[in-house]
Amino acid sequence: MEILEYMGQYGYEQLVICTQPSVGLKAIVVIHDTILGPACGGTRIWPYKSEQEAILDALRLARAMTYKSAAADLPLGGGKAVIIADSRTQKTEALLRAYGRFVDTLGGRYLTTTDVGTTGRDLEYIRQETKHVVGLPTTAGGSGDTSVMTGLGIYMGMKACANEVWGSDSLEGKKVAMQGFGKVATYTAQHLLTEGAKLVVTDIYEGALERARALGLNVVAPEEIYDVNCDIFSPCALGGVLNHDTIPRLKCRVVAGGANNQLLDDGAGLELHHRGILYAPDYIINAGGVINVSAEIGMPYNPERAREKTERIYEIMGRVIEISKQEEIPTGQAADRLAEERLASVQAIKKMYRSPC
């Protein structure tokens, strides 16, 4: 991949590589677009197989954050950071604080929060080196765990899809196959169980499976999840799981989950569309986390405000479905159109974000 050519093609503003060997820091920060405001996105800690893989993941995730914030009607742009490390064995205070210093050099163009491999406690370490952090624990004056609102948003997105497919947004009795049972999936599952849905789950970590069994859920092996006869398939792990090998195995009417970049490519979205499977674009229904942190920017955090805006995901998903039907295009393309229209409308009056500090 020619990185600069790729960045130019998709409108990226900045890619920063950060390293401090003394603490094992190898990080990449990507700012995609700041038309609507400072770039906001989580910091992911993951043991990537190569630097190329880490850069590509950061690029794709940052662009998705631009579209996510735009579609959710937030005053934020898109960014993302990845740290090449195993969060279970290599994450230290020194590494996190060194990373925080690099974030601070960006002068507020990038606001970071949690993602895969990072926690609220990690943000407290980062906050010691930079003020450009959102999603701190409520005890530290922040908005708390982003997984709570993310789970609510996914649930609301599922209900909007159910209303389109079955004529009612009730999920009672619906069978949901959840791929991955981390924090976000667990919060989503709580809403689903309260409404009377039936869940089948899988995960690669035993701790997550133990949590699922404690809730009385049916557990299957990771490779079996694609073959489960269900109403909704819910990818809640890493990206690229919807591809030309896995889609033919799906036995569902709706795909709606919390993972980022679920479609391996545009062709996967088209294949779902042709098969009559309603796909809830990931950045539309998993926007609850960034909605939650946006409620603390420039004002005291208001949980009621965050919840109200997260529940609007139901309406936004409905708009995506309508665009898809009217223009006879896959829902992924419809979501992009919704986000791009907002970006274009604001671009006429705003330019690249520069921190006022």
Active-site residue list: 80
Which residue in 225, 236, 234 sits closest to 253, CA to CA? 234
First to last CA, the chain: 36
**CB count, 10 Å around CB of 214?**
8
The set of residues, in sequence order, having a beta carbon less than 8 Å from that of 325 and lying 6+ positions away, is none
The set of residues, in sequence order, having a beta carbon less than 8 Å from that of 39 and lying 6+ positions away, is 13, 31, 32, 33, 62, 65, 66, 76, 77, 78, 79, 109, 110, 111, 353
Which residue in 56, 76, 66, 132 sits closest to 99, CA to CA? 132
Dihedrals phi, psi of 86, to nearest 5 degrees: -95, 115
Q: Where are the alpha helices (DSSP H) in the chain?
A: 3-9, 51-71, 93-104, 120-127, 146-166, 183-195, 206-214, 266-274, 282-285, 288-294, 303-311, 313-327, 331-347
What is the residue-wise DSSP string for 195-229?
A: HT-EEEEE-SSHHHHHHHHHTT-EE--GGGGGG-B
Residue 49: is it exposed, middle or buried by C-beta count within 10 angstroms (0-12/13-18/19+)? exposed
Q: Report the distance separating Cα 335 and Cα 278, nearest Å.
A: 13
Beta bridge partner(s), residue 218: 200
DSSP state of 251: B
**CA dist 213 to 82, 108, 209, 217, 262, Å?**
32, 43, 6, 5, 26
